[in-house]
Amino acid sequence: MANGNHQAVIKPPPSPSPLRNSKFFQVIVADNYFTGSKDNLSKWIGHPRFELIRHVGTIKTNVIGTLNMLGLAKRVGARILLTSTSEVYGDPLVHPQTEDYWGNVNPIGVRSCYDEGKRVAETLMFDYHRQHGIEIRIARIFNTYGPRMNIDDGRVVSNFIAQALRGESLTVQAPGTQTRSFCYVSDMVDGLMRLMEGDNTGPINVGNPGEFTMMELAETVKELIDPEVKLVVTENTPDDPRQRKPDISKAKELLGWEPKVSLRDGLPLMEEDFRRRLGVPKK
């Protein structure tokens, strides 16, 4: 799996390959911890078939990292999963976004290393699939949240929950009407596993079609955690997409998948984890 900030696990091909036997698995993780933590992998450190490397930036991961992983997949005959992103759609001109939409992306903006990096990664995946017969799977992931995320990773759900727990104002980027769709991590993992184990190459949108404005998200976090905190509107980042909502018809039809955890059910689980790590008891 190749992602924006880390590289992980290539899954072996189906039987009768001897690689189906778990004793042949080896996992190498390269992670820069921008959005995660070494603690999330602590139980695997020291395992004889697990190796952890702190390395790799966004565009290098998506271009050089994807090339390296494809080369490995070609060499050992493995199936490979690319965790792409809804950012390939840029600031979309169609809503909701379907997999056949080509996107509206600024190639030289401040966010372009991520958007264009993922678009190149998808191109590389299909080039290797067409030219070398590599078994590929591509998931276009929409915003995902859940426990064990980096508390200060800068992502909106992490920001709001951490700010509310610290008693700080929730900083909503202007105008607050821009929308996102939030998928709980357990639903996301289930979707990725179904894609990897199925027969469709993708790309397939994997996300929760429930759409919320940033102001609605802030209000929900405020209600759940601390009704006394204030909401403050701040300057927006350049090229911030105005709308984001997945059309998951393809995932339903081809994978039999759709998310089960609502935002109101998922946020308290993330709050509980953040409370524990921040040392903030529940009132």
Q: Is the dihedral of CA 109, 118, 212, 183 positive or negative?
A: negative
213-245: burial string, b at 16+ Cβ within 10 Å, e else: bbbebbbebbeebbeebebeeeeeeeeebebbb
Q: Is 33 a catalytic residue?
A: no
Nearest CA to 12 among 75, 70, 67, 76? 76
- Cα-based angle 261, 264, 267 (whole degrees, multiple of 5): 85
260-283: burial string, b at 16+ Cβ within 10 Å, e else: ebebeebbebbbebbeeeeebeee
Q: Which of these is catalytic: 89, 114, 128, 184? A: 114
What is the side-by-side order of every strand in the sheet holding 79-85?
79-85, 135-141, 204-206
- Show which residues are catalytic: 114
